[in-house]
Amino acid sequence: MTAADKPDLLESGIYTFADAAKLLRTRTPTIRTWVNGHGAHQEPLIDNELGRVGHSYVISFTNLMELRFVALFAEADIPLRTIRAIMNEARDVLQHPHPFATSTVFGTDGKRILAIIQRQTGERDVLDLKSRNYEIPAFTVLKPGVVFNSKGEASAWYPRPDTAPNVVMHPHYSFGRPILKTSQIPTAAIAASAKVDGPKVTAAIFDVPLKQVREAVDFQERLRRAA
Domain at 162, CATH number? 1.10.10
Compute the average pLDDT of residues 185-197: 98
In a domain, 103, yes or no: no
Within a domain: 189 = yes
Q: In the 3-class helix/strand/coil scheme, how is the chain assigned residue by residue?
A: CCHHHCCCHHHHCCEEHHHHHHHHCCCHHHHHHHHHCECCCECCCCCCCCEEECCEEEECHHHHHHHHHHHHHHHCCCCHHHHHHHHHHHHHHHCCCCHHHECCEEEECCCCEEEEEECCCCCEEEEECCCCEEECCCCCCCCCCEEECCCCEEEEECCCCCCCCCEEECCCCHHHCCEECCCCCEHHHHHHHHHHHCHHHHHHHHCCCHHHHHHHHHHHHHHHHHC
Confidence band of 109 (pLDDT split at 50, 70, 90): low
209 found inside a domain: yes
Within-domain flag for 116: no
Q: What is the pLDDT of residue 190?
A: 98
Q: What is the mean pLDDT of residues 131-139?
A: 62
Q: Could you tell me the pLDDT band of residue 143, with boundaries at 50, 70 and 90?
A: low
Quick check: is 113 in a domain? no
Contact 113, 132 (CB under 8 A): no
Supply the pTM of this predicted model: 0.88
Mode of pairing for the β-strands spanning 179-180 and 154-157: unpaired
Residue numbers of the domain that contains 207? 158-227
Residue 211 forms part of a structural domain? yes
Tens digit of each residue's pLDDT (9 = 90 or more) over 79-95:
888 888 888 888 888 88
Please compute the mean of the pLDDT values over residues 10-20 and round it to a whole number. 93
Distance CA 148, CA 86 (A): 22
Q: Answer whether residue 40 is part of any domain.
A: no
Q: Do 91 and 106 meet the contact criterion of CB atoms below 8 Å apart?
A: no
At residue 170, φ and ψ (nearest 5 deg) are: -135, 125
For the chain, the domain total comes to 1
Residue 125 lies in a domain: no
**Other residues' Cβ atoms within 10 Å of the Cβ of residue 93:** 16
Mind listing the pLDDT tens digit for each residue in 16-64?
A: 999 999 999 999 999 999 999 887 778 899 999 999 888 889 999 999 9
